[in-house]
């Protein structure tokens, strides 16, 4: 079902308000490294390809990718997270400074390793590059107690000037249920701010969250069920997550099947994917989705309006290679190209 022109105008108005919004991001800051090579020959040492090195790039990933996407959408973003005293950490700081993103909440821990995900891609000359392997460098332990305390203090300070808190929890210790609960209990404006959560492994450990944006496999893991193409089971799962976490809003992303938005006032809304289902690269798409969803909620959008804009953003970013972002201008063009739609059940 295609939306009425007035609803399109409403989404347009929300996007135009993004620059008036400030969002604090408490997250695990990841460095996404891409190493590109051209296939040269097969090694004599082992049955593997030898690649001639062509290029290396390091871009923000994980919570840092959510920060990057918010900045591209025109939102005033305040990142809080830990990095190591290493090259990937310095490159993340350089990227933030280049985009004029404040970095006083990005804390360096000498005993911590900046999470780095290295993807090695190869291809023939003029051909598309394919990912061969990914190597993850992870810290052996979470940030120190001192740094964790400083993360809490930095986030609490930022929240006084914010319209929402985005929590990006990849399990590396910068965005934990304990820190989030402490922020909620702290006095001041933070207690009433929208809190939007993306947690990879411990979705149900958070309480007092306003909204969450898990993907379908994360919901299946949390509830220990298999959803498949069963709409009734999907809606039951969404209602269970809403009830257990006491959420106001929930968006479950489903890859090429789009996403489903839940709230207490209306029946679940099934939103088909924007654009082609023949995606180019899904790397970091979840970070883009929560960034657009959080920006729209903070700008006054409803659950469905925020989900529609997040769906546009997700559909755009998966057509780009590598860890990518979506701009406010791209969202506006997508809205003009195709009005938002829903599927009935």
Among residues 28, 32, 270, 287, which one is catalytic?
Answer: 287
Sign of CA pseudo-dihedral 317, 135, 196, 67: negative
Angle (deg, nearest 10), helices 303-317 and 5-16: 80
Alpha-carbon distance of 253 to 273, in angstroms, equals 10
Residue 28 · residue 201 · CB < 8 Å: no
Question: Is 287 a residue of the active site?
Answer: yes
Beta bridge partners of 2: 341
Q: Which residues contact 91 (CB under 8 A, 6 or more apart)?
A: 31, 58
Instruction: Label residues 120-133 b or e (16+ Cβ within 10 Å = b).
Output: bbbbeeeeebeebe
CA proximity to 77, closest of 332, 325, 334: 325
Q: Alpha-carbon Rg of the chain, whole angstroms?
A: 20
Half-sphere exposure for 307 (CA within 13 Å, toward CB):
27
Q: Which two tokens stand for residue 283?
A: 């790397």
Tell me the catalytic residues: 287
């Amino acid at each position: 079902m295609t939306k009425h022109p007035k609803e399109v105008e409403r989404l347009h108005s929300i996007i135009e308000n993004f620059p008036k919004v400030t969002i604090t991001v408490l997250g695990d800051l990841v460095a996404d490294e891409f190493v590109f090579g051209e296939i040269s020959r097969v090694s004599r040492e082992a049955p593997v390809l030898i690649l001639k090195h062509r290029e290396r790039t390091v871009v923000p990933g994980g919570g840092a990718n959510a920060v990057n996407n918010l900045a591209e959408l025109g939102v005033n973003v305040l990142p809080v997270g830990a990095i190591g005293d290493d090259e990937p950490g310095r490159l993340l700081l350089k990227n933030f400074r280049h985009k004029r993103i404040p970095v006083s909440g990005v804390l360096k821990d000498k005993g911590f390793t900046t999470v780095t995900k290295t993807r090695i891609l190869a291809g023939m000359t003029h051909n598309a590059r394919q990912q061969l392997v990914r190597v993850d460098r992870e810290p052996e332990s979470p940030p120190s107690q001192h740094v964790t305390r400083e993360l809490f203090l930095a986030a609490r300070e930022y929240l006084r000037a914010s319209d929402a808190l985005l929590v990006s929890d990849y399990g590396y210790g910068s965005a934990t249920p304990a820190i989030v609960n402490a922020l909620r209990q702290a006095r001041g404006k933070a207690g009433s701010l929208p809190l939007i959560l993306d947690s990879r492994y411990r979705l149900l450990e958070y309480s007092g969250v306003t909204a969450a944006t898990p993907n379908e496999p994360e919901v299946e893991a949390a509830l220990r069920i298999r959803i498949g193409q069963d709409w009734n089971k999907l809606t039951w799962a969404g209602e269970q997550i809403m009830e257990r976490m006491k959420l106001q809003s929930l968006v479950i992303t489903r890859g090429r099947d789009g996403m489903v938005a839940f709230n207490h006032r209306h029946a679940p809304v099934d939103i088909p994917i924007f654009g082609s289902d023949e995606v180019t690269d899904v790397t970091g798409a979840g970070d883009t989705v929560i960034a657009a969803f959080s920006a729209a909620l903070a700008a006054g959008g409803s659950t469905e309006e925020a989900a529609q804009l997040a769906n546009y953003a997700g559909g755009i970013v998966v057509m780009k290679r590598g860890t990518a972002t979506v701009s406010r201008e791209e969202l506006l063009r997508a809205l003009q190209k195709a009005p938002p739609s829903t599927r009935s059940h």
